Amino acid sequence: MKFKKRTAFMIDFISDYINGEIERYFFDLDYSAYVIKHFPHMEREDALLADKFAFTIDSAYEDGSDLDLSDEEFKVKISNAFDEWLDK
């Protein structure tokens, strides 16, 4: 599936974290800023996919942060949400 610019950016960013190219500390630092910057554009690109992002990735991020999960548990939670978001 071909994704538009802002959605593709978030996919790449999250994939980099899941694949170990970004440490959790840096992922945490950038995540909220990227969502604030890119989410409104994602909604215009594909409203349903953006909604699904909110209910999968963003929900997993908030839950993982609130539960104070270990780095590995957090990565698994984000990875599972990523797969659900993109129907993998």
DSSP characters over 42-68 = HHHH-HHHHHHHIIIIIHHHHHHHHTT
pTM over 0.75: yes
Task: Indicate whether 7 belongs to any domain.
Answer: no
Task: Indicate whether 28 belongs to any domain.
Answer: yes
Asked whether residue 23 carries a pLDDT value surpassing 90, the answer given is yes
Distance CA 38, CA 10 (A): 8
Quote the percentage of the chain above a pLDDT of 90. 95
Asked whether residue 1 carries a pLDDT value surpassing 80, the answer given is no
Task: Indicate whether 26 belongs to any domain.
Answer: yes
pLDDT of residue 51: 98
Task: Indicate whether 8 belongs to any domain.
Answer: no
pLDDT of residue 62: 97
Read off the pLDDT band of 70 (50, 70, 90): very high
Task: Indicate whether 3 belongs to any domain.
Answer: no
Task: Indicate whether 14 belongs to any domain.
Answer: no
Distance CA 73, CA 68 (A): 9
10 Å Cβ neighbour count for 75?
A: 18
Query: Closest Cα partner for 38 from 62, 70, 3?
Result: 3
Task: Indicate whether 56 belongs to any domain.
Answer: yes
**Are 6 and 42 contacting, i.e. CB atoms less than 8 angstroms apart?**
yes
Domain around 33: 19-85
Residue 2: strand, helix, or coil = coil
The domain total for the chain is 1
